[in-house]
């Protein structure tokens, strides 16, 4: 991955990251209770409810701030978040360079990923979970390793991602869709089997380690989602969250496919790798609350990329596909 950027781009990315995190702090982090049952402190007690207890990555990473007792927790978390968002912009730029030609143009398109984050974590969001920004970054790194066909890198990212938030498992679907032409080959079957075994092993291990903790291994949301959707039309908050999720970028994702514009993209694998959105929404009906907009962390880089693919079919946006053999 080429991480070399002009200095002015680094400065621009850093400032954009700082602004997003500042807004996030004002709206969400500042009022949050860092000692709530779902907080990092609760996870580090090893006594909080499952599945929050399984999300160990961030609490352990955050321990690097422990010696810096003079920095308030929320400020330390915000410093960490700026680093995560800044890294996301650089990684996402690298991912887009596998889609589009003219790296200089890509410099200016990669911050588009902050737009749905602004909506899902600041404008619409009412709750704080410490692992959200990290989940977006990890999934984006995983997508990069998928499109560059680096399975070892994907494997490491997958393991780290599961320990942060189990929905990183949807990277396996992105891998499958990217390899749709070779889906029945032994290599792809074996790799998917490895990912499935690792996910299962991590979940079983964590469940055994924290067997005595309260709560279920997986939170079941089917009944609540049925109730939410059946009453959605009469609830303005539900309709606002559903309609403005991702800042409505999903509209362009839908248009990309129903208009057939996706066929203009030569390397179909790059388009299909983002279709893990579909299994997320199907399985998500059982394990996430549809109207809680912050739960769609893993979908953000995929929705944004499909939006940019749509723009690439319109000449005035100067997004030219990077040609390579499929």
On whether residue 63 sits in a domain, the answer given is yes
On whether residue 312 sits in a domain, the answer given is yes
pLDDT in tens, the chain (326 residues): 556 789 999 999 999 999 999 999 999 999 999 999 989 989 989 999 998 999 999 998 887 777 766 788 899 999 999 999 999 999 999 999 999 998 889 999 999 999 999 999 999 998 999 999 999 999 999 999 999 999 999 999 999 999 999 999 999 999 999 999 999 999 999 999 999 999 999 999 999 999 999 988 887 888 888 888 887 777 777 888 888 999 999 999 999 999 999 999 999 999 999 999 999 999 988 888 888 899 999 999 999 999 999 999 998 898 899 876 44
On whether residue 197 sits in a domain, the answer given is yes
On whether residue 323 sits in a domain, the answer given is no
Of 314, 315, 318, 308, residue with least CA distance to 99 = 308
Q: How far is it, in rounded angstroms, from Cα 172 to Cα 43?
A: 27
On whether residue 325 sits in a domain, the answer given is no
162 token code pair: 């599961």
Q: How far is it, in rounded angstroms, from Cα 278 to Cα 226?
A: 18
* Angle of CA points 188, 274, 237, to nearest 5°: 140
Q: Write down the number of H helices and E strands in the chain.
A: 16, 0
Q: How far is it, in rounded angstroms, from Cα 101 to Cα 206?
A: 43
pTM for the model: 0.95
On whether residue 35 sits in a domain, the answer given is yes
Q: How many domains does the chain have?
A: 1
Supply the range of the domain harboring residue 42. 7-317
6 token code pair: 């002009």
């Amino acid at each position: 991955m080429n991480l070399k950027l002009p200095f002015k781009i680094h400065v621009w990315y850093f400032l954009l990251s700082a602004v997003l995190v500042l807004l996030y702090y004002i709206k969400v982090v500042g009022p949050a209770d860092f000692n709530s049952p779902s907080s990092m402190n609760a996870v580090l007690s090893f006594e909080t409810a499952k599945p929050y207890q399984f999300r160990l990555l961030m609490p352990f990473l955050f321990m690097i701030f422990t010696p810096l007792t003079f920095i308030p927790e929320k400020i330390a978390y915000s410093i960490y978040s700026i680093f995560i968002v800044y890294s996301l912009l650089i990684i996402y730029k690298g991912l887009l360079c596998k889609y589009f030609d003219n790296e200089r143009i890509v410099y200016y398109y990669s911050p588009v990923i902050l737009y749905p984050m602004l909506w899902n974590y600041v404008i619409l969001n009412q709750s704080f979970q410490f692992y959200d920004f990290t989940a977006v970054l990890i999934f984006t790194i995983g997508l990069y390793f998928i499109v560059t066909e680096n399975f070892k890198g994907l494997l490491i990212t997958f393991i780290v991602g599961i320990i942060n938030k189990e929905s990183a498992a949807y990277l396996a679907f992105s891998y499958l869709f990217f390899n749709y032409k070779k889906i029945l080959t032994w290599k792809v079957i074996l790799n998917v089997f490895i990912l499935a075994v690792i996910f299962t092993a991590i979940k079983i291990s964590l469940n055994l380690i924290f067997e005595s903790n309260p709560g279920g291994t997986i939170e079941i949301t089917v009944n609540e989602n049925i109730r939410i959707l059946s009453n959605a039309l009469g609830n303005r908050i539900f309709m606002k969250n559903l309609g403005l999720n991702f800042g409505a970028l999903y509209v362009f994702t839908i248009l990309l496919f129903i208009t057939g514009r996706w066929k203009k993209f030569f390397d179909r694998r790059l388009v299909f790798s983002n279709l893990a959105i579909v299994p997320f929404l199907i399985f998500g009906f059982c394990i996430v609350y549809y109207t809680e907009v912050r739960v769609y962390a893993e979908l953000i880089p995929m929705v944004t990329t499909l939006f940019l693919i749509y723009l690439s079919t319109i000449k005035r946006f100067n997004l030219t596909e990077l040609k390579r053999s499929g």
